[in-house]
Amino acid sequence: MSILIDIQPLQYSSRDAGIGVHIRSLLRKLRRLQVDVPVTLLLNDHAGRTCHLKLHRSIDWPRQVLRRSNRTDITPWQNEKFSYAQIFNSGEFSVYHANSIAEPDHVTIPVPSSGCKVVVTVHDLIPLIFRDHHPEYWTAEMLGYDYGKRLEDVQKADAVLTVSEHSKTDLIRYLGIPEDKIHVTYGAVSTDFRPTEDREKIERVRRQYQLPNEYILYVGGYYGFRKNIANLLKAYHHYVNMTPSTPLNLVLVGATSSRDFKKFHPLCEELHLDRYVRLTEFVAEQDLPVVYSEARVFFYPSLYEGFGQTPLQAMASGTAVVTSDNSSLPEVTGSAAKIINPEDIEDMAQGLLSMCMDEDLQSRFVTLGLDRVRRFSWEDTAAKTLNVYRSLMN
């Protein structure tokens, strides 16, 4: 009997997002624990298996390939169900861990069968909660069928892992999952995120990304609706007009900055922010801690986060954080961030202004942030996940 862990999201764009970070970090820490049964990793033949999964070299567990049939008379969702059945009916695996329900590329979830228990990690229910903005996440057809079917599969799972108490509440509220079936396994941040003192590296990163001397920082994978970029720009505009001193520049870091940000160019022009706002393209993983560490303030007025890893990354890097009063963000940041209402431009601007103007306040939140981030560890995430595996095998 053995454990089969899904790493299919690493074959798609999720490998560079929070889901990818979570999977890789979990595997690395699980590898260090004494897992007393064999572990196998699951990929599929739908995406290129030669793509860079970004797994640590210590992750040397064998891999299983989910092979789809060539049938055209059934949906991709049905096709995968048949493929999973072929794997599970072998009786080789006692626990299967599905690591995402949010992949548009037909990465589905098997239902428990043939004695194999199913664990599902649900980071959030964003496509469901923000369904009125579905074209940004899923087409209407995919949202109604593919995602809907996945949510039904989550309801059938033997155990559900999620990354915050807030996401747990959403699972109970929207899907009616029994509370005792849900286990909160918080995420964490890599030890690579810490205050940077290497002046040579700092200067290289500053030159490479053309960073201003002093700046306010935003980091996000994209500039979609829930990231609240329009309000961020409007609040920043208020800050520029209110500050009695030279305003700090605003640096926006995103995986596809130039392409996604085009829709905000008219707003920037209207607010006369062009000379203040600096866009970067995707920042390399090894450079991101420096970009965080060199910022004076990290500004993250998101409308919803399942966990909110970027505020923790900023805290770990020694940067003061201003973030939203919604979803999981107050839960994760605690009293170590200045909390604002992301739908109130004036409140956002005042929070940003007070943090930028008051160096003592910045220093206090930096100290609080460095202490707060120590409460989250990937070792703890892995240990709790392993406990769930063991409870199902018993």
What tens digit of pLDDT does each residue of 364-384 get?
999 999 999 999 999 999 999
Please indicate, yes or no, whether residues 34 and 168 belong to a single structural domain of this protein: yes
Higher-confidence position of 22 and 54: 22
Does 50 have pLDDT greater than 60?
A: no
**Helix, strand, coil shares, percent, the chain, to 5:** 45, 15, 35
Please indicate, yes or no, whether residues 111 and 218 belong to a single structural domain of this protein: no
Residue 71: give the domain boundaries: 2-188+377-393
- Residue 326 domain-assigned? yes
User: Which amino acid is located at 381 in the chain?
Assistant: T
What's the predicted TM-score (pTM) here?
A: 0.91
pLDDT of residue 258: 56
> Burial level of 170, CB count in 10 A (0-12/13-18/19+)?
buried
Please indicate, yes or no, whether residues 178 and 123 belong to a single structural domain of this protein: yes
Close Cβ partners of 132 (under 8 Å, ≥ 6 residues apart): none
Say how far apart CA 141 and CA 262 lie, in whole Å: 27
Say how far apart CA 191 and CA 299 lie, in whole Å: 22
Least confidently predicted of 13-17, 204-208, 365-369: 13-17
Q: What is the mean pLDDT of residues 38-46?
A: 88
Binning pLDDT at 50, 70 and 90, where does residue 17 land?
confident
- Residue 33 domain-assigned? yes
Please indicate, yes or no, whether residues 136 and 224 belong to a single structural domain of this protein: no
Query: Nearest-CA neighbor of 232 among 341, 354, 369?
Result: 341
- Residue 47 domain-assigned? yes
User: What CATH number should be reported for the domain holding residue 87?
Assistant: 3.40.50.2000
Distance of CA 224 to the CA centre of its chain: 14
188, 139 in Cβ contact below 8 A? no
Enter the tokens of residue 384. Answer: 């709790």
Please indicate, yes or no, whether residues 138 and 259 belong to a single structural domain of this protein: no
Please indicate, yes or no, whether residues 217 and 298 belong to a single structural domain of this protein: yes
Does 51 have pLDDT greater than 70?
A: no
Enter the tokens of residue 369. Answer: 């942030």
Half-sphere exposure of 90 (CA within 13 A, CB side): 12
Please indicate, yes or no, whether residues 43 and 177 belong to a single structural domain of this protein: yes
89, 83 in Cβ contact below 8 A? no
- pLDDT tens digits, 270-298: 999 989 999 887 788 899 999 999 999 99
Please indicate, yes or no, whether residues 148 and 277 belong to a single structural domain of this protein: no
Please indicate, yes or no, whether residues 206 and 283 belong to a single structural domain of this protein: yes
Q: State the average pLDDT for the chain.
A: 88
- Residue 194 domain-assigned? no
pLDDT of residue 292: 98
Higher-confidence position of 394 and 239: 239
Say how far apart CA 276 and CA 253 lie, in whole Å: 14
Binning pLDDT at 50, 70 and 90, where does residue 114 land?
low
Does 61 have pLDDT greater than 90?
A: yes
Q: What is the mean pLDDT of residues 298-303?
A: 97
Say how far apart CA 248 and CA 246 lie, in whole Å: 7
Query: Nearest-CA neighbor of 223 among 273, 261, 191, 168?
Result: 261
Please indicate, yes or no, whether residues 12 and 113 belong to a single structural domain of this protein: yes
Least confidently predicted of 8-12, 106-110, 134-138, 289-293: 134-138
- Residue 15 domain-assigned? yes
Please indicate, yes or no, whether residues 225 and 119 belong to a single structural domain of this protein: no
Counted domains in the chain: 2
Name the range with the highest mean pLDDT among 60-74, 109-123, 149-163, 214-228. Answer: 149-163
pLDDT of residue 264: 82
120, 154 in Cβ contact below 8 A? yes
Say how far apart CA 334 and CA 136 lie, in whole Å: 30
- pLDDT tens digits, 224-274: 788 999 999 999 999 999 998 899 999 999 755 556 677 788 888 899 998
Please indicate, yes or no, whether residues 51 and 174 belong to a single structural domain of this protein: yes
CA distances to 7, 298, 339 from 369, in Å: 31, 12, 13
- Residue 193 domain-assigned? no
Say how far apart CA 269 and CA 249 lie, in whole Å: 16
